[in-house]
Structure 1
């Protein structure tokens, strides 16, 4: 599974922090560090990937 989709699902509230960490194979405490370390481009692409272009 694409890690960006898992993180996006967590950020949208579909997964708990524990579930997100488990899917990613992390400790729950490591999840926060991962989210803080995400480059801005990835955070932006996660948002843009889920909003189809209008037209």
Structure 2
């Protein structure tokens, strides 16, 4: 399963943080880092996205 889909399910409240970690196969500290990275991805547009015209 795609890690961003699992993290999105956690953020939407469909699964707990523990379940999220179990699905991804990571421990608490690794999961916190993954969540931070995903948050940064959603904050900054990717280089493939065009802004403006």
TM-score (norm 2): 0.65
Cα RMSD (Å) of the superposition? Answer: 1.8
- Counterparts of residues 1-55 of structure 1 (less than 5 Å): 1-38=1-38, 40-41=40-41, 43=42
Q: Which has the larger radius of gyration?
A: 2
Higher helix share: 1
5+ unaligned residues in a row in structure 1: which ranges? 45-55
Task: Show structure 2 runs of 5+ residues with no match.
Answer: 44-53
Q: What is the DSSP-based 3-state SS (H/G/I as helix, E as strand, rest coil) of the residue aligned with 2:9?
A: helix
What TM-score results when the alignment is normalised by the length of structure 1? Answer: 0.63
Tell me the matched-pair count: 43
SS of 1:38's equivalent? helix
